[in-house]
Amino acid sequence: MEVGVKKEMIIVLDFGGQYNQLVARRVRECNVYCEIYSYKIDIQKIKDMNPKGIILTGGPNSCYEEGAPTYSKELFELGIPVLGLCYGDQLMNHILGGRVEKAPVREYGKIEVMVNPSSPLFEGVGSKAGKPVKSEFDLEGHSDNVNSTQCWMSHNDYISKPASGFVSVAHTSDCPVAAAENREAGLYAIQFHPEVLHTVEGTKMLGNFVRGICGCSGDWRMDSFVETSVKEIKDRVGDGKVLLALSGGVDSSVLAALLSKAIGSQLTCVFVDHGLMRKNEGDEVEGVFGKAGNFDLNFVRVNAGSRYYAKLKGIEEPEQKRKIIGEEFIRVFEEEAKKIGKVDFLAQGTIYPDVVESGLGGESAVIKSHHNVGGLPDYVDFKEIIEPLRNLFKDEVRKAGLELGLPEYLVNRQPFPGPGLGIRIIGEVTAEKVAIVQDADYIYREEIGKAAEEHKKNFGVEPSWMPNQYFAALSNMRSVGVMGDERTYDYAVVLRAVKTIDFMTAEAADIPFTLLQTVMNRIINEVRGVNRVMMDVTSKPPGTIEFE
Mapping DSSP to helix (H, G, I), strand (E, B) and coil, where does residue 406 land? coil
CB-nearer residue toward ligand XMP: 9 or 276: 276
Name the residue among 277, 419, 448, 252 with its Cα closest to residue 349. 252
CB-nearer residue toward ligand XMP: 150 or 369: 369
Which one is catalytic: 8, 107, 195, 328? 195
Tell me 304's DSSP state. -
Which one is catalytic: 86, 151, 214, 269? 86
HSE, CB side, 13 Å, CA atoms: give it for residue 104: 5
Q: How many CB atoms lie within 10 A of CB 197?
A: 14
Which one is catalytic: 193, 198, 274, 371? 193
How many whole angstroms separate alpha carbon 210 and alpha carbon 32? 7
CB-nearer residue toward ligand XMP: 110 or 413: 413
How many whole angstroms separate alpha carbon 461 and alpha carbon 25? 12
CB-nearer residue toward ligand XMP: 481 or 543: 543
Tell me 66's DSSP state. T
- Min CB(382)–ligand XMP separation in Å: 22
Q: Nearest 10 degrees: CA dihedral of 49, 50, 51, 56? A: 80
Q: Kindly give, in sequence order, each residue whose CB lies less than 8 Å from that of residue 271, ignoring residues fewer than 6 positions away.
A: 246, 247, 248, 282, 285, 286, 289, 299, 300, 301, 302
- Min CB(364)–ligand XMP separation in Å: 5
- Min CB(245)–ligand XMP separation in Å: 13
Q: Kindly give, in sequence order, each residue whose CB lies less than 8 Å from that of residue 466, ignoring residues fewer than 6 positions away.
A: 452, 509
Name the residue among 213, 195, 276 with its Cα closest to residue 27. 195
* Residue 493 · residue 473 · CB < 8 Å: yes
- Min CB(548)–ligand XMP separation in Å: 8
CB-nearer residue toward ligand XMP: 110 or 368: 368
CB-nearer residue toward ligand XMP: 89 or 546: 546
- Min CB(302)–ligand XMP separation in Å: 19
CB-nearer residue toward ligand XMP: 166 or 471: 471
- Min CB(416)–ligand XMP separation in Å: 7
CA distances from 307 to 126, 274, 329, 331 (A): 65, 8, 10, 11
How many whole angstroms separate alpha carbon 280 and alpha carbon 443? 13
* Residue 225 · residue 402 · CB < 8 Å: no
- CA 294, distance to chain mean position in Å, is 27
Q: Kindly give, in sequence order, each residue whose CB lies less than 8 Å from that of residue 298, ignoring residues fewer than 6 positions away.
A: 265, 267, 268, 269
Q: Residues in the site for ligand XMP, rule: CB under 6 A?
A: 364, 368, 370-372, 415, 417-419, 469, 503, 540, 544-546
- Min CB(243)–ligand XMP separation in Å: 20
Q: Is 86 a catalytic residue?
A: yes
CB-nearer residue toward ligand XMP: 427 or 529: 427
Q: Is 546 a catalytic residue?
A: no
User: What are the residue numbers of the active site?
Assistant: 86, 193, 195
